[in-house]
């Protein structure tokens, strides 16, 4: 029973490691996405103004504003793509392996316990059958119990050499 509890604790810890790894990645993704949004907002505010003034003379005011906005959108899209491709590290695979090994060990122990329970059940059925047969013919069981020691004593006394 103690090893089952230990195995269940290992499985629980592995599950916690898996959840922690997934939360770490989700936190990084959210942070990167928020940072991309912040860059997007500041890009629209600051770079747009600077780019607009830089491009206003050669392109004109309309195309200068469109060029700066397109560059901002491109940067934001690249950051969102990078954030979406973040994955968990090797610790998640290790935690999954530990969890799976623990589950396999727990299943094996459960099968052993089931075999033991079936053996106890078979012994109880045999005991029940012997009690039922004894209750039907109590004289048979009693005679067998009494005759065996009596016959043993008789054989021993007859086989002793006489002095």
pLDDT tens digits, 57-103: 898 888 887 887 888 788 889 988 998 888 877 877 887 888 888 88
Tell me the H-state helices in the chain: 2-42, 48-59, 61-84, 90-136, 138-159
Instruction: Judge whether residue 30 has pLDDT over 80.
Output: yes
Q: With contact defined as beta carbons under 8 Å apart, do 55 and 67 qualify?
A: yes
Q: Say which residue the tokens 């103004």 belong to.
A: 49
Residue 44 is classified by DSSP as I
pTM, entire model: 0.38
Name the helix (H) or strand (E) containing 161: none
Domain positions in the chain:
2-116
Phi, psi of 129 (to 5 degrees): -65, -40
What average pLDDT does the segment 107-122 reach?
A: 88
């Amino acid at each position: 029973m103690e090893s089952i509890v230990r195995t269940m604790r290992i499985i629980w810890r592995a599950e916690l490691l898996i959840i922690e790894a997934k939360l770490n990645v989700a936190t990084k993704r959210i942070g990167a996405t928020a940072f991309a949004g912040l860059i997007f907002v500041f890009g629209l505010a600051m770079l747009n103004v600077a780019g607009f003034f830089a491009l206003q003379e050669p392109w004109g005011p309309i195309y200068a504003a469109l060029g700066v906005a397109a560059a901002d959108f491109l940067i934001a899209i690249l950051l969102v793509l990078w954030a979406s491709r973040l994955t968990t590290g090797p610790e998640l695979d290790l935690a999954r392996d530990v969890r799976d090994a623990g589950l396999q060990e727990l299943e094996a122990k459960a099968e052993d316990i089931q075999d033991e329970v079936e053996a106890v059940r078979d012994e109880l059925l045999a005991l029940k059958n012997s009690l039922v047969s004894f209750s039907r013919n109590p004289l048979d069981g009693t005679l067998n119990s009494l005759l065996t020691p009596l016959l043993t004593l008789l054989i021993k006394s007859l086989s002793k050499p006489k002095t």
